[in-house]
Amino acid sequence: MKGDHLKSTKHIGAFIDSKCVGVLSLFLASTDQLSNLSQYQLRGMAVDPEHRKKNIGRKLASFSENELRSRNVEVIWCNAREIAVNFYKKLDFEVISDEFHIPDVGPHYVMYKRLS
Ligand SMILES: CC(C)(COP(=O)(O)OP(=O)(O)OC[C@H]1O[C@@H](n2cnc3c(N)ncnc32)[C@H](O)[C@@H]1OP(=O)(O)O)[C@@H](O)C(=O)NCCC(=O)NCCS
């Protein structure tokens, strides 16, 4: 993704026996809905289909949240695909936008979580 190699970008992986089974990336980026807050965008959250529903996504998010807290970041947010909204709700993210469409991907919502 654009910005992958910026120093401010963090890529986090979940590993089982040295095999990567889940990923997410954290980008220093703001959304209009959360102006004035120190914030990072969560992008590219994905877990290997063979390892889903084993809390790997939850652990990736939790690790990321702690990492951002240690840097005094106030908010984590993402553009959640409609099919992932309930997953993010389980992680205590809230919807803060109307539905919007990303071409070739489909309906999305901005979701966020306060870290402090
Ligand atoms: C969404 C995704 C990352 C979830 O990863 P995962 O490791 O399977 O999720 P977890 O096991 O950590 O699930 C945490 C909780 O969310 C629930 N959950 C997981 N996927 C869900 C989904 N698609 N819809 C609703 N709830 C979901 C789990 O049941 C669990 O709830 P519980 O604690 O009550 O049992 C994974 O399904 C995936 O890679 N999907 C394809 C890529 C994608 O859509 N990424 C998001 C882009 S915005």
Domain boundaries, the chain: 10-114
Q: Residue 52: CB partners within 8 Å, gap ≥ 6?
A: none
Phi/psi zone of residue 18: left (φ > 0), alpha (ψ -120 to 50 degrees), beta?
Answer: left
Q: State the pLDDT at residue 80.
A: 97
- Compute the average pLDDT of residues 14-27: 98
Nearest residue by C-alpha to atom 9 in ligand 1: 57
- Distance (angstroms) between ligand 1 centre and the Cα of 83 equals 9
Query: Using a 6 Å cutoff on CB, does residue 110 contact ligand 1?
Result: no
Mean pLDDT of the chain: 97
Kind of pairing between the strands at 75-81 and 94-95? unpaired
Nearest residue by C-alpha to atom 20 in ligand 1: 87
Half-sphere exposure for 41 (CA within 13 Å, toward CB): 18
CATH classification (class only), 10-114: alpha beta
Q: State the pLDDT at residue 116.
A: 87
25-67 pLDDT tens trace: 999 999 998 988 999 999 999 999 999 999 999 999 999 999 9
Query: Using a 6 Å cutoff on CB, does residue 86 contact ligand 1?
Result: yes
Q: What is the dihedral of CA 62, 63, 65, 68, to 10 degrees?
A: 180
- Among positive and negative, which fits the CA dihedral 44, 20, 60, 85? positive
56-106 pLDDT tens trace: 999 999 999 999 999 999 999 999 999 999 999 999 999 999 999 999 999
